[in-house]
Structure 1
Amino acid sequence: AMKNGQLKPAYNLQYGVEVSFIVWAGVYQNTTDTRTLIPFLEDFQEYIGTRSRNIIADAGYESEENYLYLRDKGQASYIKPNNYEISKKRKWKNDIGRRENMVYLAGEDVYLCAEGKCLSAVGTRRTKSAGGYISEKTLYACAACRGCERKGQCIHGNHSKIQLEERVKRLEVSKVFQREREENLARIRSTEGILLRMNRSIQVEGAFAQIKENFGFRRFLTRGQESVLGEAILLALAHNVLRLYEKIQRDTVGRHLIALKEAG
């Protein structure tokens, strides 16, 4: 966070919630949620000695590395893809330049554009994430773009020094990521996935709303990662006591999930 030109210490607070109770807390200096998932779950498992069967998380936690980690640990991911909401929009669905709107022929390993022309694999390249994870991407290119009347709709990016007439359509695809995303997408669209994601929204967002709005807690009072974590744990304990009281009053102590029809 920046204020008056001076760098102020800032932390990324993560809470893990189950049955409306905060069961684990972590404080990180990573600005993005993506890189907090694995250390958070590793710390939880090391301390508790067990792993949760399902991991339900918002779009900020989606990455190839996270998908493979959960698969390796035998945990089912229910992570909203980061393009999930925008992919529902008409503009996205009508964009012929997007890989998602092309036909993929797995046997031939080619994509077919809106004009039925092939984008074939022409090579691979490796990329390394900020956390050091290496992903392999397959490069696809079309050899029949010249003279296509729809090239302006298909090839995006207005900063290329090459004239549009000379450019060809290219794609970069991580096959591993796309496989994991598709399997994950099938889970979140299932009846169980819809139920779990709805409860994640109610329980996790509710926990932060309780702390920020009801408790009026907007800024940590101490400095240093360890001290800030101590504050986060105290806040979590206060939240859990209130949640337990509410459950006792409503006689819902033994209930884990809110049904879809109740939320509706």
Structure 2
Amino acid sequence: MQMNYTNNQTTLKLELDWEPEEHHIAWAITTLVDSIPTGDLEAESSWTGRPEYPVKMLLKMLLFSYSRSVFSGRKIAEMGDENLVMRWLMGNIVTVPSYRTINRFRVHPRTKTLIKRLYSLFRTQLTSLGLIDDSALYIDGTKLAANANKYTFVWRKSVEKNEPKLDEKSNQLYDQIIQNEVDLAVRQETDGSLDSTELKAVSDKVSNEIDNLNQVIANEKVKPGGSQNKRRRRKLKHYNHLLKTDLIPRKQNYEFANRTFGERNSFAKTDTDATFMRMKEDPMKNGQLKPGYNLQVASQHQYTLYFDLFQRPTDTRTLVPFLSSIFTQAPNASQYVVADAGYGSEMNYQFISDDLEKDFLIPYGMYEKEQTRAYHKDKRKVANWDYDEYNDCYTDLDGIEFRFHNYSIRHDRYGTERKFKVYWAVDYFEDPQRQELATTQSGRPRQISINANWEYFKNKAKEQLSSEIGRQLYGQRKIDVEPIFANLKAHLAFKRFSVRGLSATWNEVGIALMANNLVKLAKVAANLKEHGQKQEGNSHKSRISFLFSYRIRVMSRTLLRLRIFGAETCAKRQLVPLNPKMVIIPSSGIMTIFTLMLTS
């Protein structure tokens, strides 16, 4: 037998209002978005035409859909029609925004300002709830795939290799056109290459010369052996064809690539802001480079407090701009900056200590290896040598002395300046055995270069990481920031962007990370309530067990009396009852069956 079911029968709806359950994520979204001041939402809009959709409503729709792993604009619009919670967040509005409206809103520059304001309010909310403090910021990064084809790559080395060949070909063609008596005079520099504008000017002048030849050929008579003008026109047409179909388009592509590269070595044609990187998700196990972005996150207690998106594939050079943006927004954001060894560099250490005046808990690349026994026994490592501070010299484990020789300044490919002190081995011309140890295979004296600034920061990193608070905070790093990426990629399934361009992807990842924050906040609130109910339930159970044990003791005394009374009655009557089982229903409602062991 099944219960009655019909969805076509008209019913009288007595429930006029509906709300999500108490600790649903919709409440967290509503509380956060509604806290945005009205002044931040006001913008210039037209006084004519259809009224705009409320910004708060669109923001709530995006946060809820991203928390449910829905990233498509069409799917979000569909949720607005079918999902009950989404309808409640929209305020039961009659007209649902189209997918075009949703997509335009999440890539709009105005949305970026709203997202920044949203994170500021969220940090204030967490601080008021006591969920975060200013003890430490945990920083880490991950790579997200761009919405671009993985085979639309443009490499800087390829452009640098092929563009000079194109320039040489253009210069040769330029000389050939001049030899055909075409007055060009478009080259800006005698020895320089022709840019696309100059090549277009050359093509225009060649086209004009071809038009003039057409008029001349139309009026001239047929000559034996063919017309000289026709042969000249044929060559010019060939040159013009090369210019229009090969040289000019390729030169334009190279110029566009050079403008787009910036400091990068590659970009994708379908999303020019994306850089080709080696992703952690590599199903083919071949290390294939794919277009993507480098996401940097600063967290505490698994909440994303700050984030930024970079086009650089390595984490080392993202720390300085990321921390600059953080401490510009909040100068007292944290006292400790905690990150893994991928961020350990002289430039980063110096920026945190000198510019920000903060403490860092960031190991350098060789930190773990330097703790091993094999490293301490390696006589090639300068760290194991003796240093005489008074004479400023080093002595290796073989007794070879290295004395200061000169200063050296080096620059890396990014322009960072590093100062070194160069030490040369002493000349042991009187001792052939030691002289052999003091020279290289080519006969030159051995040299070592010491970066005093880098050694200072390495020692400072060791000291801070080995301290009690340093060990505690650095041990917390892996369980604080790593779960954010796990929840983002595994639970929310956000591994690839749905929009293109650095500004648009920044907006989208900001929405996704905030949705992840609100999911966690809603779970924390629900767990606190459940924990409170469990504590109340445990105390209630203890009271019940006490009352139950008390009633059992009272019942046992009653049963004993009944057993004695039954035995006496049967003995008097000299008979055994037909049913030796007696049923007693105590006042507690528990049925107890026992047997009277009677003998005649």
* TM-score, with length taken from structure 1: 0.81
Aligned residues of 2:343 and 2:362 also touching (Cα < 8 A): yes
CA RMSD, 1 decimal: 2.6
Compute the displacement of 1:49 (Å). 4.4
Q: Give the conservation status (yes or no) of the 8 Å contact 2:362–2:461.
A: yes
- Quick check: which one's strand share is greater? 1
TM-score (norm 2): 0.38
Distance, in Å, in 1 between the alignment partners of 2:508 and 2:369 is 36
- 1:227 paired residue number: 504
- Call closer, same or farther: CA 1:135–1:192 in 2, change over 3 Å: same
The residue aligned with 1:201 is: 478
Matched residue, 1:260: none
Percent sequence identity is: 24
The alignment of Structure 1 onto Structure 2 pairs a total of residues equal to 242
1:6 counterpart residue number: 153
**Partner deviation per Cα, 1:82-138 (whole Å, 9 max, x = no partner):** 111222334433321111221222222222101122111211111223443312111
Give CA deviations for 1:198-241 in whole Å, capped at 9, x if unaligned: 11111111211221222222222222111121122122112212
| Structure 1 residues 4 and 120, CA gap change in structure 2 (3 angstroms) | same
**Are the structure 2 counterparts of residues 6 and 125 from structure 1 closer, same or farther at C-alpha, using a change threshold of 3 Å?**
same
In the alignment, what sits opposite 2:516? 239
Q: 2:357 aligns with which of 74, 88, 93?
A: 74
Residue identity opposite 2:502 in structure 1: Q
Distance 1:247 1:95 in 2: 51
* Match among 378, 393, 396 for residue 95 of structure 1: 378
Unaligned runs of at least 5 residues, structure 1: 156-162, 252-264
Match 1:58 to one of 334, 340, 345: 340
Q: Note the C-alpha offset of 1:194.
A: 0.8
Larger helix percent: 2
Task: Please list the CA deviations of residues 155-195 of structure 1 after superposition, one character each: whole Å capped at 9, or x if unmatched.
Answer: 9xxxxxxx626244322211011111101210011111111
- The one-letter amino acid of 1:6's match is F
Displacement of 1:53: 0.8
Please give the alpha-carbon distance, in whole angstroms, between the structure 2 residues aligned to 1:125 and 1:68: 20
Give the structure 2 partner of residue 46 of structure 1.
328
The 2-side partners of 1:68 and 1:197 are apart by 19
2:306 pairs, out of 24, 27, 30, with 24
Aligned partners of 1:221, 1:75: CA distance in 2, in Å?
A: 37
Farther off after superposition, 231-240 or 127-136: 127-136
Question: Mean alpha-carbon deviation: is it higher for 18-27 or for 90-99?
Answer: 90-99
Check 1:207–1:233 CA distance in 2 against 1; reply closer, same or farther (3 A cut).
same
- Please say which structure displays the higher CA radius of gyration: 2
Pick 1 or 2: higher relative contact order, CA cutoff 8 A, min separation 6. 1
Q: Which runs of 4+ in 1 moved over 6 A?
A: none
> 1 CA distance for matches of 2:436 and 2:483?
47
Q: 1:167 to 1:192 in 2, by over 3 A?
A: same
Bigger shift: residues 238-247 or 219-228: 238-247
Q: CA deviation at 1:6?
A: 2.4
Q: Which residue of 1 aligns with 2:467?
A: 190
